[in-house]
Structure 1
Amino acid sequence: MTTVFAVLAVPAWLSLVVWICLVAFRGGFWRMDIRLPPVPPPGSISPAPAENGDDGERWPAVTIVVPARDEAEILPESFPTLLAQDYPGQLEIVLVDDASSDGTGDVARELAAASTRGEQVSVLRGQGPPPGWAGKVAAMDRGLRAAAPGGYVLFTDADIGHPPDSVRRLVAHAEAGGWDLVSLMARLNTRHRAERLIVPAFVYSFFQLYPPGWIRSGRRRTAGAAGGCMLVRRERLEQAGGLAPIASARIDDVALGHLLKLTGARTWLGVTRSVRSLRPYPGMAELWDMIARSAYTQLRCNPWLLAGTVLGLALTYGVPPLVGVAGAAADAWTAAVPALAAWALMTLSYLPVLRLYRLAPWRAPLLPGVMALYGAMTVDSARRHRRGRGGAWKGRVVESES
């Protein structure tokens, strides 16, 4: 037994080193206080200078582009939040009905007609993506081409609800900081038990891969965004070639962030409680499908990256509790101490995302179990791709990119 724990001390110490590096040197990914600052209410000074000596306000024009496929059920809850924006400048909304079969476009038109912004809303009907294009990116591009030139484009999903000051705050932050991309990780649902288990770990893992501190740093190559809410400076996007360079991207938000940053754009990513995803995932099956749909694509459909990811998850999240508890029970403290220390660092770093979602701190030590589920979802994602069912979403199947 002593020999066994002497061997296990090696991965225990390795895990501790990994967690020290993650917490201390991974861009403060665990911080959940990177949020939009408040801005003055409408009628006060705008973030942009007035032109021609005019003392009035001048807010840049904004076009909201909403790609929507079979979203008739959720649009009555989400679309009115866009129609109710209090933005002081020119604002138009373009919803692209991506070959829906449930009357999504008709629902959007009815909601627009009943609002005061009806004349500022366009609903376009798409026939699906052309060859070489991913469905969502093609719909985004259709909306972009229909938008007025200049200003900003806000790409937002059809299931996202916005507070009335959402556009104003996004634009104010972009103008004040000179940001070309301002993106927010929308607050996901945690009403159901499965959501409370899986969602915080999803957010935690996303920021571990794409630390906001590195995304906004011009000295780092790390880039990304959260697709539910992406405000982009139109001029910068056109300089990058529009959306054509990422036409086939299955993970469009990260691809857009990379595209912009490669061309010298300044990018910013933060968290929010007020911009919310309204789509429920009431059971584990729905959440499993959501993650398995794109996990293998994130690994570029590479089996070697899959193997490395599974081993990395085992070392980072599996070793600390297993070796820590077993070592402590056997008085093998050479292995137990580093493993338990790694588990403690993991637990402490997970607390901020639990606070963001107003969930109890007792969930933090359970993170290894949740990450074991993520490992299983990733393996299942690879299995689906191998069987030709990768990325299945609303009747469309993403072909493997391997």
Structure 2
Amino acid sequence: MLSLATWLYLLLFHGRFWLADQRLPLAESRPPAAGSWPAVVAIVPARNEAEVLPSTLPTLLGQDYPGPMSIVLVDDASDDATGQVAEKLAAAQPGLPFELVHGDGPAPGWAGKVAAMRRGLESAGRAEYVLFTDADIAHPADSVRRLVELGEADGLDLVSLMVLLRTESAAERAIVPAFVYSFAQLYPFPRVNRPHSRTAAAAGGCMLVRRSTLDRAGGLDQIRAARIDDVALGTLIKRGAAGGRIWLGLTARVRSVRPYPKLADLWDMIARSAYTQLRYSPLLLFGTLLGLLLMYAVPPVVGLIFAAVALGGGGGNWSLVTAVAALAAWAALSVSYLPTLRLYGLRSWRAPALPLVMMLYGAMTFDSALRHHRGSGGRWKGRVEER
């Protein structure tokens, strides 16, 4: 019954997180007038991205943005041919100004990606907007234009998109939609987008930031050690000194091309930062694992067991009441997962299997804590975060 009460609260009162209805408008009714489009610089932090750049960088170089736009790609001390590949792609598709910047890796006290973002800012000039976009993100030709339209029309200081992640392998189809669903549960998008709510977040693959607001908030130095840089940036813009307005939404048009073909690849991706999300707290870890069991394991396990007991004539009315409450909780969590499955074009039969996926997430979170205490937490492309 506690599990059922939890799911009723989440469905009815937790910021409509599960509806997946915060989408970038197809067209703004009040775009900037001709000749008044603000300048934009796109900054791409890239470490060992030679394989994905041919699928993504041309989509940035091919933007149809009506105003001034340039691109800065930061080769973050790569071990592969990231820089050379980027230069060849830019030379083959002239048009937008392109600059390749070489980074030496993070200074002490800096997270790797944030350090690369700052390195890009140092070469970016004074554009009114900065688009931080990951090297694995492919954009439609109107992507930047639509982001700026929304920012200008609604006076936003940060416009961010949770891009559509790849779901081509069996592991991706099982794990990835639940990742997006869980992120929305932690940071309900409607609450993020409400000016007077304290809930703040962003999605790191695509973040358009008003440069003057970022400067007023103290710049990237304020989040220099952040491993979960997108949530940190959203919090800085909304709740920091600048007190800016932010918007976070979903999209099926801006896509990540990074493959996670095996469960082990996704496991590493999640275990890299799960314990960071819990602020390295054993108490929060225990509470999280207990919460996952209550919310996701109890409904199907208890429901099926007590339904069998009730059908067998045992346990009396208590068995029936317990079975109904548990199965109702299972139905509620399944219903809440359907909009995310539709976003990814996946069949609805996956919804009742969400508890199995979330038990995997619990195991990944526990493994993340183990990695941290062993000194190997946050490993990413050969780098391990400082203890």
Match of 1:5 in 2: none
Quote the Cα distance in structure 2 between the aligned partners of 1:309 and 1:69: 32
Task: Return the match for 1:27 from 15, 21, 38.
Answer: 15
Task: Check conservation: 1:150, 1:235, Cα contact below 8 A.
Answer: no
Quote the Cα distance in structure 1 between the aligned partners of 2:295 and 2:103: 44
Match of 2:282 in 1: 303
Task: Check conservation: 2:22, 2:190, Cα contact below 8 A.
Answer: no
CA RMSD of aligned residues (A): 1.1
Residue type at the aligned position of 2:7: W
Task: Return the match for 2:76 from 80, 98, 101.
Answer: 98
Match of 2:249 in 1: 270
Residue by residue over 1:286-330, the C-alpha shift from the partner in whole angstroms, topping out at 9 and shown as x without a partner, is 000000010001101111100000000000111111111111111
Residue type at the aligned position of 1:277: S
Match of 2:327 in 1: 340
Matched, 1:121 2:108: no
Quote the Cα distance in structure 2 between the aligned partners of 1:140 and 1:190: 28
State the TM-score, normalized to the length of structure 2: 0.96
Residue by residue over 1:190-224, the C-alpha shift from the partner in whole angstroms, topping out at 9 and shown as x without a partner, is 00000000001000000000111110112211100
Residue by residue over 1:362-397, the C-alpha shift from the partner in whole angstroms, topping out at 9 and shown as x without a partner, is 000000000000000000000111111101011100
Match of 2:265 in 1: 286
Residue by residue over 1:38-72, the C-alpha shift from the partner in whole angstroms, topping out at 9 and shown as x without a partner, is 237xxxx97235xxxxxx43100000000000101
Residue by residue over 1:214-272, the C-alpha shift from the partner in whole angstroms, topping out at 9 and shown as x without a partner, is 10112211100000000001111010011000000000000000101113111111000
Quote the Cα distance in structure 2 between the aligned partners of 1:260 and 1:70: 29
Task: Check conservation: 1:390, 1:398, Cα contact below 8 A.
Answer: yes
Task: Check conservation: 1:184, 1:269, Cα contact below 8 A.
Answer: yes
Quote the Cα distance in structure 2 between the aligned partners of 1:267 and 1:26: 19
Match of 1:361 in 2: 348
State the TM-score, normalized to the length of structure 1: 0.92
Quote the Cα distance in structure 2 between the aligned partners of 1:74 and 1:340: 44
Match of 2:298 in 1: 319
Quote the Cα distance in structure 2 between the aligned partners of 1:362 and 1:103: 43
Quote the Cα distance in structure 1 between the aligned partners of 2:30 and 2:5: 48
Task: Return the match for 2:27 from 36, 39, 47.
Answer: 39
Match of 1:226 in 2: 203
Task: Return the match for 2:163 from 179, 186, 198.
Answer: 186
Query: Percent identity over the alignment?
Result: 63
Quote the Cα distance in structure 2 between the aligned partners of 1:333 and 1:291: 38
Quote the Cα distance in structure 1 between the aligned partners of 2:81 and 2:172: 29
Matched, 1:16 2:4: yes
Counterparts of 1:53-202 in structure 2, within 5 Å, are: 56-117=34-95, 120-202=97-179
Match of 1:370 in 2: 357
Quote the Cα distance in structure 2 between the aligned partners of 1:300 and 1:117: 44
Secondary structure of the equivalent of 2:73? strand
Match of 2:371 in 1: 384
Task: Check conservation: 1:15, 1:339, Cα contact below 8 A.
Answer: yes
Which segments of structure 1 move beyond 4 Å, counting only runs of 4 or more? Answer: none
Residue type at the aligned position of 1:48: P
Residue type at the aligned position of 1:161: A
Secondary structure of the equivalent of 1:30? helix
Matched, 1:251 2:239: no
Secondary structure of the equivalent of 1:319? helix
Task: Check conservation: 2:30, 2:153, Cα contact below 8 A.
Answer: no
> Matched residue pairs, number?
377
Runs of 5+ consecutive residues of structure 2 not aligned to the other structure: 311-318
Matched, 1:209 2:168: no
